[in-house]
Structure 1
Amino acid sequence: MSNAPVIAAVDGSEPSLRALEWARAAAVRHGTGLMVAHVLPDHAQLYAGRRSSLHDASQPKEFADPVKDWVRALLGGGSELPEGIRYEALEGSVPEALRVIGAEGLMLVMGSRGRGGFATLLLGSNSRAVSATAPCPVVVVPHAERTAGASEAAEESAGRVVLGLHAAETPDDVITFAFAEAAARGTTVQVVSAYAVPPVPNLIIDAPFEVIPPEGLADEGDAVPAEREMLRSQTARLAPFRARYPDVRVEQAAVPGDAAGRLVTASASAALVVVGRHHPRRRPRSLFMGSVAHAVLQHAQGPVAVVPTLKDDA
């Protein structure tokens, strides 16, 4: 259990409704509070500034915020609620306001796009910017069109937590987040790593990958050497996390080639896909995410958690 709340970023749009519901359930699972954050639109911020500068007591103290009433109605709908809920109306740009408030959160949950932009956008500019800069893990919940083809196994209480792992480079914070989420859900962590292979004429790029449990890593087997070495590297990297979370079942998969593509495929039947934000050699406050995190955010059919290296980004 953590004292830090789950933060839901809302703006009244359908994707933010989905994010609020996801955040509510996450706060219940983790036994923590829920903070609902709404960055006020420009006209509301201008009204507040004008009233303050003119000291006009005849005007209402606050600009009417319909999103606050919308949130109150949603959370009063009968679903199980966290112990503590609070609402914060924020000022400033959306990425900066959420980045600042994210320092208080266990995680920050938002929709893949908000009210602005084109309806066909897979990922909005604010979601991309917050995922790249927030000091806490950011969970991006896709809009309904993105999840239309996803499996029913990815419902809130079902599905695996899928972790994209580079055994030598993925920071501990990313792995810890995946195991903690799986423990809170009572589900499995499926660890997916990719290894490079030279191009050959008969390579079937779209073949499904095989999931191998740790006990299946015997000295003999049919796996290609690169795959077997990747699985052994996974096993060594995951050992301390298995010890820390003994009740979490682990499945391992080593796949040739494109890690992002495999994670996107897995997202269709996963409760959550977890990726690290940056390549370890990139400076912590870089505005650019790693290529795998960016590709998964753009195309995943389910929620994606982008986890920073917390000791560096805090």
Structure 2
Amino acid sequence: MSHAVVVGVDGSAQSAAAAEWAAYQAHRSGMALRMIHAGGAEPELSAAPVDQTQSLPRAVLALRGHLVEVLPGLDVSCEHVPGSPVHALIAAGEREGQLVLGSRGLGGLTGLAVGSVALRAAAHAACPVILVRAGADGQGGAPGDVVVGVDSSRPGAEVLAFAFEKAAERGANLRVLESRDLPAGGYVTAAPLDPPEITAALAAAALVRLQDTLTPWQKKFPEVSVEAEVTGWPAGKALVEASRSASLVVVGRRTPRNRPAVPGLGTVAHAVLHHTHGPVAVVPHD
């Protein structure tokens, strides 16, 4: 069971936004906040105890003080972990079950929505990775739906579980979106229906399948209000548009059983990460 929310910090505005988001998440959930400043060379061995604060940037220490002040009672720790930032952050996140990162850090290039550390963590971590942009809507304790994209033909249980849990924690509505090919001209058929009627019938059937997929989860989380929607838009476009009013968007990252060592983000996750208007959670699943 997770006891802390882990967030990577490096002194940038992006990581400060991520830390604030993670702090509110920890406060709502009754968990601790663990701030990780990763990178740099391994320290020399010494018999004397090491003062962690000497390895932390002043901006990181100031951020910790700010979070303790605005969220009284929140248990906040801050530590420096040497070595590869990606490996250190992933390891810390996997121990607690989730990892929060700024979408770009101090090393990010202007014009890139998501930095290399964030992308690599989202593509490799065995736990959910939440990416937060500075200035994006839905940070901290802001209200808004939790939005999740699914494919009812092969839904990821881990993705739905995460989305329902976050909606329950926030007291938020859960909006479930599925993208389907619904051609405006309909399909050629011998049935006495006009093309628009055929398209409407296809959408209705797809919605029934999606609702059937969600039924067991609604029974498990009866406190969560769920809105299911089938759209003819491409999945990435639909989720980016939904992110305008969402507190969190959840997307899956499929990990092939026969190639577990070959991670990667699909086109939908890439589109959402680079164009979202709010925080995005990437959840690995079979």
Offset, 1:81: 4.2
Offset, 1:281: 6.9
Alignment CA distance shift 1:279-1:65 (3 Å): closer
State the partner residue of 1:97: 88
State the partner residue of 2:182: 197
> Contact 1:5–1:104 (CA<8 Å) still a contact in 2?
no
Matched, 1:165 2:150: yes
Offset, 1:199: 6.7
Offset, 1:17: 0.5
> Contact 1:10–1:20 (CA<8 Å) still a contact in 2?
yes
Note the 1:129-148 alignment, pairs <5 A. Answer: 129-144=120-135, 147=136
- Identity in percent: 35
Matched, 1:70 2:62: yes
State the partner residue of 1:292: 268
Alignment CA distance shift 1:193-1:132 (3 Å): same
Matched AA of 1:268: R
Q: Deviations over 1:279-298 (max 9, x none)?
A: 66783442311211111111
State the partner residue of 1:112: 103
Offset, 1:251: 0.5
Distance 1:200 1:286 in 2: 39
> Contact 1:37–1:87 (CA<8 Å) still a contact in 2?
yes
Distance 1:91 1:302 in 2: 30
Alignment CA distance shift 1:280-1:117 (3 Å): same
Note the 1:229-308 alignment, pairs <5 A. Answer: 229-278=205-254, 283-308=259-284
Offset, 1:71: 3.5
Aligned pair count? 273
State the partner residue of 2:190: none
Higher mean displacement: 153-162 or 2-11: 153-162
Q: Deviations over 1:159-198 (max 9, x none)?
A: 0000101112231110011111111111100000010134
* 3-state DSSP of counterpart to 1:131: helix
Offset, 1:225: 2.2
Higher mean displacement: 114-123 or 177-186: 114-123
Offset, 1:27: 0.8
Alignment CA distance shift 1:122-1:8 (3 Å): same
Of 155, 159, 172 in structure 2, the residue corresponding to residue 187 of structure 1 is 172
> Contact 1:234–1:252 (CA<8 Å) still a contact in 2?
yes
* 3-state DSSP of counterpart to 1:288: coil
Matched, 1:124 2:115: yes
Structure 2: tracts of 5 or more residues without a match: 187-196
* 3-state DSSP of counterpart to 1:77: helix
> Contact 2:19–2:100 (CA<8 Å) still a contact in 1?
yes
Distance 1:299 1:265 in 2: 9
Distance 2:57 2:101 in 1: 18
* 3-state DSSP of counterpart to 2:70: coil
Matched, 1:11 2:15: no
Alignment CA distance shift 1:56-1:90 (3 Å): closer
Offset, 1:154: 7.2
Distance 2:17 2:139 in 1: 14
Distance 2:47 2:3 in 1: 38
Alignment CA distance shift 1:61-1:235 (3 Å): closer
Offset, 1:234: 0.9
Matched AA of 1:303: P
With structure 2 as the length reference, what TM-score do the two structures score?
A: 0.86
Offset, 1:69: 2.0
Task: Give the CA RMSD over aligned residues.
Answer: 2.6
> Contact 2:21–2:140 (CA<8 Å) still a contact in 1?
no
Distance 2:180 2:164 in 1: 23
Structure 1: tracts of 5 or more residues without a match: 202-220
